[in-house]
């Protein structure tokens, strides 16, 4: 036992060795506390319930350095406030009210960052390079596009803080893109707060083509009458772990989580979500759909908590998967923990193959086998994608799918 532990400690320290501690004026006590924690911590193993189906060998066996070249940025929205991180470094930030980078903040302002004592959050904090610190007031006139690009083999620790103030409204897209050669590790944490009556849409678009490891976490708190929607679309990625944690603290709030993941080859995608209903009279909707090709693997773990006294909660969760090959794998675990008695909740997960009868029907009308399968897969994920409201995002996703499958609309 002791020997095993030693190796794991070494693997984490090996990962941390080339990294520089954050040069931001972060709170000294928090910093010290988390650094002590990291020194004794191990990388999670499959014995850890939260990482049961997720092996971190890609991370522990990799070696990272600082080498990289500049990436070519692209845009998703026709008109947006643009922010670009190139291999962890902020290279573009359009000026608009309420938007600053972490490097511009005073140590006092930085105390608003609240890291948890869990490994990747702690690691992100201690080694944070930069990030966006955003205060949204009123109805933001344009969406915000935050592009994270990577092509080297560097570790990128970026930490965002987004606060949508009372009755304010915003749409933000977090885009992750890596080129074919990339072997980076991006560890991104976003702390997101919705004040009373705030409305926020986050589109998380993951189109990493290389051998990147992407671990990202969105920690969301919602107050009274707020509406939070997050669309997580993962169309590639060698190793992707998404953690979305929503803490619903105000009554009459609405939370919507929509997800699509399409993985191939030996890719791995893991979506963990938590919606924690702490107060009564709230609604949450969660719909994740996945299509798994080749030898790829997907994990879905969705937890919904309804706390004691959080009555009149409507919480709906659904996960569906299509396996496109014999070697494709899904590990799905929908969980519902209810401690209140007057609630309406449902959850379910299905995994299956395409309907062969439907394929035959389409082929009998002259559609090729691959055309028939594409039509059915596109219809399957289409039920989630149609929930995305902004046309530019729809177009971006269609284009990506078309490049890959030759899909139409």
Partner 1 sequence: MIKIENLHASIDGKEILKGLNLEVNAGEVHAIMGPNGAGKSTLASILAGREEYEITEGSILFEGKDLLELSTEDRAREGLFLAFQYPVEIPGVSNINFLRTSLNEIKEYRGENPLSAKDFMKMVREKSTIVELDSKLANRSVNVGFSGGEKKRNEIFQMAMLDPKLAILDETDSGLDIDALRIVANGVNKLKTPQNACIVITHYQRLLDYIVPDFVHVLFDGKIVKTGTKELALILEEKGYDWIKESAAV
409 touches partner 1 by CB under 8 A? yes
What's the closest the beta carbon of residue 325 comes to partner 1, in angstroms?
Answer: 19
**Exposed, middle or buried, 36 (CB in 10 Å: 0-12/13-18/19+)?**
exposed
371 touches partner 1 by CB under 8 A? yes
For partner 1, give the closer residue by CB, 338 or 376: 376
CA 295/CA 264 separation, integer angstroms? 7
What's the closest the beta carbon of residue 167 comes to partner 1, in angstroms?
Answer: 36
Taking Cα atoms as reference points, which of 334, 337, 287, 289 lies closest to residue 313? 337
CA angle 159, 100, 250 (to 5 degrees): 65
354 touches partner 1 by CB under 8 A? no
For partner 1, give the closer residue by CB, 114 or 363: 363
Write the CB contacts of 49 (distance below 8 Å, at least 6 apart in sequence): none
Identify which range of 220-228, 293-301, 303-311, 357-365 contacts partner 1 by CB under 8 A.
357-365
Question: Among 53, 137, 380, 405, which residue interacts with partner 1 (rule: CB under 8 A)?
Answer: 380
Query: What is the DSSP code string of 173-232?
Result: EEEEEE-TT---EEEEEEEEEE-TT-EEEEEEEEEE-SS-EEEEEEEEEE-TT-EEEEEE
The angle that helices 28-40 and 119-126 make with each other, rounded to 10 degrees, is: 130
For partner 1, give the closer residue by CB, 72 or 379: 379
What's the closest the beta carbon of residue 391 comes to partner 1, in angstroms?
Answer: 19
Strand partners, 231: 203, 258
What's the closest the beta carbon of residue 271 comes to partner 1, in angstroms?
Answer: 21
Pure H helices in 47-143: 57-60, 107-110, 119-126
CA 268/CA 284 separation, integer angstroms? 27
Identify which range of 89-97, 201-209, 246-254, 361-369 contacts partner 1 by CB under 8 A.
361-369
* Residues 327 and 294: beta-carbon distance below 8 Å: yes
CA dihedral of 221, 222, 223, 228, whole degrees rounded to 10:
150
406 touches partner 1 by CB under 8 A? no
Q: Sheet holding 344-352: strands in order across?
A: 89-93, 81-86, 144-150, 169-178, 199-208, 227-236, 254-263, 283-292, 314-323, 344-352
363 touches partner 1 by CB under 8 A? yes
401 touches partner 1 by CB under 8 A? no
368 touches partner 1 by CB under 8 A? yes
What's the closest the beta carbon of residue 231 comes to partner 1, in angstroms?
Answer: 18
Q: Is residue 359 within a helix (H) or strand (E), and if so which, with residue range?
A: helix 356-363
Question: Among 46, 50, 350, 383, which residue interacts with partner 1 (rule: CB under 8 A)?
Answer: 383
For partner 1, give the closer residue by CB, 184 or 351: 351
293 touches partner 1 by CB under 8 A? no
Question: Among 254, 281, 362, 404, which residue interacts with partner 1 (rule: CB under 8 A)?
Answer: 362
Identify which range of 247-255, 314-322, 380-388, 397-405 contacts partner 1 by CB under 8 A.
380-388
Question: Among 355, 389, 391, 403, which residue interacts with partner 1 (rule: CB under 8 A)?
Answer: 355
348 touches partner 1 by CB under 8 A? no
* DSSP 8-state code for residue 20: P
Question: Among 358, 394, 398, 400, which residue interacts with partner 1 (rule: CB under 8 A)?
Answer: 358
Question: Among 345, 382, 387, 390, which residue interacts with partner 1 (rule: CB under 8 A)?
Answer: 382
By CB under 8 A, name the binding residues for partner 1.
355, 357-358, 360-369, 371, 375-376, 378-380, 382-383, 408-409
């Amino acid at each position: 036992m002791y020997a095993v532990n030693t190796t794991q400690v070494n693997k984490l320290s090996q990962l941390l060795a080339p990294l520089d501690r954050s040069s931001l004026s972060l709170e000294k006590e928090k910093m010290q506390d988390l650094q002590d924690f990291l020194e004794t911590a191990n990388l999670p193993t499959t014995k850890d319930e939260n990482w049961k189906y997720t092996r971190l060998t890609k991370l522990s066996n990799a070696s990272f350095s600082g080498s990289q070249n500049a990436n070519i940025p692209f845009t998703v929205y026709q008109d947006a406030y643009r922010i670009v991180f190139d291999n962890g470094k902020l290279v573009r930030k359009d000026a608009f009210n309420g938007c600053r980078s972490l490097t511009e903040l005073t140590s006092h302002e930085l105390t608003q960052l609240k890291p948890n004592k869990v490994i990747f959050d702690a690691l992100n904090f201690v080694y944070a390079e930069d990030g966006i610190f955003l205060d949204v007031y009123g109805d933001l006139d344009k969406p915000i596009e935050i592009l994270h690009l990577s092509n080297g083999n560097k570790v990128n620790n970026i930490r965002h803080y987004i606060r949508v103030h009372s009755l304010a409204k915003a749409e933000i897209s977090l885009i992750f893109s890596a080129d074919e050669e990339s072997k980076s590790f991006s560890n991104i944490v976003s702390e997101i707060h919705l004040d009373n009556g705030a409305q926020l849409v986050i589109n998380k678009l993951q189109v990493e083509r290389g051998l990147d490891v992407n671990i990202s976490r969105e920690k969301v708190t919602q107050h009274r009458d707020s509406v939070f929607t997050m669309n997580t679309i993962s169309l590639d990625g060698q190793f992707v772990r998404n953690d979305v944690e929503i803490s619903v603290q105000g009554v009459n709030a609405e939370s919507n989580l929509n997800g699509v993941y399409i993985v191939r080859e030996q890719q791995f995608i893991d979506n963990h979500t938590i919606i924690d209903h702490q107060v009564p009279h709230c609604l949450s909707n969660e719909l994740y759909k996945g299509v798994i090709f080749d030898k790829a693997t997907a994990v879905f773990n969705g937890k919904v908590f309804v706390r004691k006294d959080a009555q009149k909660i409507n919480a709906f969760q659904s996960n569906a998967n299509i396996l496109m090959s014999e070697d494709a794998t899904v590990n799905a675990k929908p969980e519902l923990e209810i401690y209140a008695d007057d609630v309406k909740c449902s959850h379910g997960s299905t995994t299956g193959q395409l309907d062969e009868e439907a394929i035959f029907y389409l082929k009998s009308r002259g559609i090729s086998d691959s055309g028939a399968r594409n039509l059915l897969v596109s219809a399957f994920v289409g039920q989630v994608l149609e929930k995305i409201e902004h046309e530019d995002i729809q177009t971006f996703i269609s284009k990506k799918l078309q490049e890959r499958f030759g899909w139409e609309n």
